Structure 1
Amino acid sequence: MIVLGVDHAAQLVAREDRPAVLAAFLDRAAPDAICIERSPEAFARNDFYEFTYEVQDVVVPFARERNIDVCPFDWHPSTEDAQLGFGMDLEAIPEIRPIRGFQQFLTFPEPAQLHRTLFHADDPHNVTRSTQWSLTPAARTAQDLPRRLFLYRTFLQAKRIAAAARAHPGGTVVVVVGEFHKRDIDAVLADEPGIVVVQPSSLGAPNDADVHQRELPAYRFAVASFNLLGRQAETGNRDDAFLRETVDALSGSGAAAEVQLLATRLDLLQGRISRAEAIGRYRQIAAIAGEARFTWTGVKDIRRLDSWFDPFGNLSVRQRAHLELARESIRAGRRAEADRLRTALGGELTARQRRQLDGYWPLLAK
């Protein structure tokens, strides 16, 4: 049993923890089954948490390609119980996501997050803060539900993982789970008869050749889109060399307009081109993009405008070029031009998406 603790979607910002590294590690582990952090009921509907990029975009495709059993193991309270305990449906996404707080757009603002490695969670010191929180009751008992629910959820996760292991006697089972759960899962499984827990780091990190072999254009598009189009770009926290290498590697992918847009955004953020040059490029991209869509968006509900990391994630490449043109027009003080673009763009969207466009539009000025 190998329990790999992850920071959900951090593969998109950390070079040494990038998607191909995870895929190469799974190759090295050669599992008979892979356990993923989603409930069996949701997985049966092919339904995943929005933000678990590593699950739906790396682990599950990897397993299906090799006919490896996938064992969902998560547990969460019913909608009714969540309403009773928290006063809300924990999986309901607000029409306009908040900038901060629960259900906000996911970003990684801390420089240390760019240097995360695959085996980060193997070191208990790296998860000390979450461990201490889980062991410390809230000052007021009435406010202790999140901690108690976390412990209960993690215990049931471990029991479902143990059941998956029993279904594969003598086999290797890899568990991919949020790192905060790893400590308790390891402890529960250690007491399960017939299960031997092995730390992921004991297998060793994949070498460069193995990682290179596992690189896919889909991984690179995801890295580029998350860092350049989503709210991550506004944090200023990025690995410029990693992103340059990623975008350059996409130049022969065939998605010309999309790659040009990503390259323009990167050049502008890195100060390689002026705002005026970027505006000219965006106009050219809009003219050639046609109906092209982005290779990867992370959008779960196509009726919405946004994704879990990008307020405007469900736009086409042409529409996105116009949006970026509006962003730079606003910052250049050309509000009338931006308003014209906003009106034209809104005319192509549904009423719901148009309301979200209006709600998120002020973010372009920040």
Structure 2
Amino acid sequence: MVDTAEITVCGGNGGDGLITFGRAKFKPKGPPTGGSGGSGGDVYLVANSNVATLKDFVSRKIFEAPNGGAGGSNDRTGKCAEDLFIQVPVGTTVLNDKGQVIADLDSPKETFLAAKGGAGGRGNAHVAKSQSAGWRTNSRFQLNLPPTLISYTGKKFSKEKYIYYAERGKSGQRATFTLELKLIADVGLIGLPNAGKSSILNALTKTTKATVGSYPFTTLEPNLGVMENVVMADVPGIIEGAHKGRGLGYKFLKHIERTKLLVHIISIEQISLNVKSITKTQAYKTIREELYNWNIALIEKPEIIAINKIDLEKSMKAYEKVFRNVIFVSAETGEGLAELKEKIVGETAKQKEKEQFEKKEKPSPVPTFTFDTLPNRKMVFNNAKDAP
């Protein structure tokens, strides 16, 4: 599964303003009538639930919005370019060139403005109306200026030379982003390689989507399954040092960051009766340490511990005496799966209710403004001249 991609987005350039003059009988030099250029298109990233991976960005990495049209005669504004919408999977995180997260598209139809299109340049009709604004010379360009500047009245007035000026359209924004996909799942199945996570996912969801084998690292990419409206993710086996890049865990640890519940699967072959608690076993401690080193918030998530492959033992009495607060299951025979299913569904519902309650209790952020972003300076300043 392609879950990382780097793309470059470019907003469209604004159209150039036009230099032209009105034509009428007995008036060879009419007033300036050059229109302004249209604005360039914006580039948006849109979360789409019908897109599963970032594979579309493997072959295409540069996305450019169309440019705005040039201004026309008779003060006609150029055509504004259409915006470009790039479809990405729900759960995509957008990082800038410094590795900082600037957007998290975790809900369908959520959008992010990746690049703003440039504004269109003013035509000479609009520059003529704004000559008192003192436009900078480097923001304008001249087209076929006559040797002597002549106003439309036929008289030589150098002060009216602004009628021969227009503006070039502004360039659109250009930026490079890294896209990272984190699966949207309610439950994450974690454990050492060959613990039977894929088998339990198949058994609980009654599918054969996840590949099953009797060797470590059978699962090479996350698998999703649905059980009574609960989305479950089977994460490839995590080994010691996964947070540093060992094995496959480094690539897929991020996929359990959004989960509400963790189900820790431990094979009965990976534990010993010599320990007093399941939390003292090396299989359990290895996973917990990797979660802590990757993201400390992961170890704070609610957890269900399930000991799998109990069909390999003739009697479970000794294990049941030593290990408390765990669920003994067998993906092969189906023993204990009903209890595990009930526990997962109940705990997930509890966590969803908790999240909804926290969203209602969370106060809305108070908007803040700077002098440049005030929507109406008259709200603050009685006299407009007092505004900075």
The structure that is strand-richer by fraction is 2
Shared fold per TM-score greater than 0.5: no
Q: How would you bin the TM-score normalised by the shorter chain? A: under 0.3
Bigger radius of gyration among the two: 2
- TM-score norm. by structure 2 comes to 0.22
The structure that is helix-richer by fraction is 1
